[in-house]
């Protein structure tokens, strides 16, 4: 279990120590999942995604990337590249790449997810606005403010109209 050895009476004194123990336990869970290979590839992918997101939240971006690449591969093969779960996995993979400073890998995914959402849901849909925000943030982080600023401005205008000025997503775009 990921929570093995998390006895409150142990000497885990800091958040950093807790993160380290959790990270090691996640590493063990990943190895066990690989060793026992769940019979259903989609179930395995779902479990791997949960583990990858946990690794991501612990700041273990390289491990999250490796696991998310597996998830995307399985879901693409089993469900197709345009399936909603595959696209969700690609979004998590792009964020993992981005956080791991793998901007070259993240960019094409962000662009594809934005274009796919825009075509599928329209420009004012919240999913499209989330993808636009992610892409604009990636542009900023890669030094492309000429593309980022207009995309942020358009996303902000649409979020204000759809969600209001005090909504957390609107405020995130304002930031």
More confident of the two residues 84 and 44: 84
At residue 117, does pLDDT exceed 80?
Answer: yes
**Residues of the chain above pLDDT 70, percent:** 81
Separation CA 47–CA 138 (nearest Å): 28
Best CA proximity match to 30, nearest among 81, 84, 69: 69
Q: Give the pLDDT band of residue 110 (cuts 50, 70, 90).
A: very high
Look at residue 104 in the predicted model and tell me its pLDDT: 96
Q: How far is CA 64 from CA 4, 36, 69, in A?
A: 21, 20, 9
pLDDT at residue 162, as a whole number: 95
What are the distances in angstroms from CA 8 to CA 3, 18, 25, 60? 11, 11, 16, 24
- The pTM for the full model equals 0.80
User: Is residue 59 pLDDT above 70, yes or no?
Assistant: yes
Beta carbons within 8 Å of 61's beta carbon, 6+ residues apart: 55, 96, 99, 100
By the 10 Å C-beta count (0-12 exposed, 13-18 middle, 19+ buried), 11 is classed as: exposed
Q: Which of 37-51, 122-136, 149-163 has the lowest mean pLDDT?
A: 37-51
Q: Are 154 and 173 in contact (CB under 8 A)?
A: no
Residue 7 has pLDDT above 60, yes or no: no
The answer to whether the beta carbons of residues 30 and 2 sit under 8 Å apart is: no
58: enclosing H helix or E strand: none
CA atoms of 41 and 85, how far apart (whole Å) = 13
Residue 101 to residue 122: CA distance in whole angstroms: 30
């Amino acid at each position: 279990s990921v929570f093995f050895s998390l006895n409150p009476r142990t000497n885990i004194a800091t958040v950093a120590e807790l993160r380290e123990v959790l990270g090691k336990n996640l590493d063990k869970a990943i190895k066990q999942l690989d060793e026992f290979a769940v019979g259903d590839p989609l179930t395995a992918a779902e479990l791997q995604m949960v583990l990858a997101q946990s690794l991501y939240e612990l700041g273990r971006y390289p491990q999250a990337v490796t696991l998310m690449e597996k998830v995307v591969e399985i879901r693409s093969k089993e469900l197709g590249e345009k399936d909603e779960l595959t696209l969700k996995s690609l979004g998590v993979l792009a964020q993992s790449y981005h956080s791991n400073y793998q901007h070259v890998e993240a960019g094409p995914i962000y662009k594809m997810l934005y274009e796919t959402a825009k075509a599928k849901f329209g420009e004012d849909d919240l999913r499209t606005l989330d993808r636009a925000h992610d892409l604009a943030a990636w542009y900023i982080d890669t030094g492309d403010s000429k593309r980022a600023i207009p995309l942020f401005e358009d996303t902000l205008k649409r979020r204000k109209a759809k969600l209001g000025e005090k909504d957390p997503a609107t405020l995130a775009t304002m930031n």
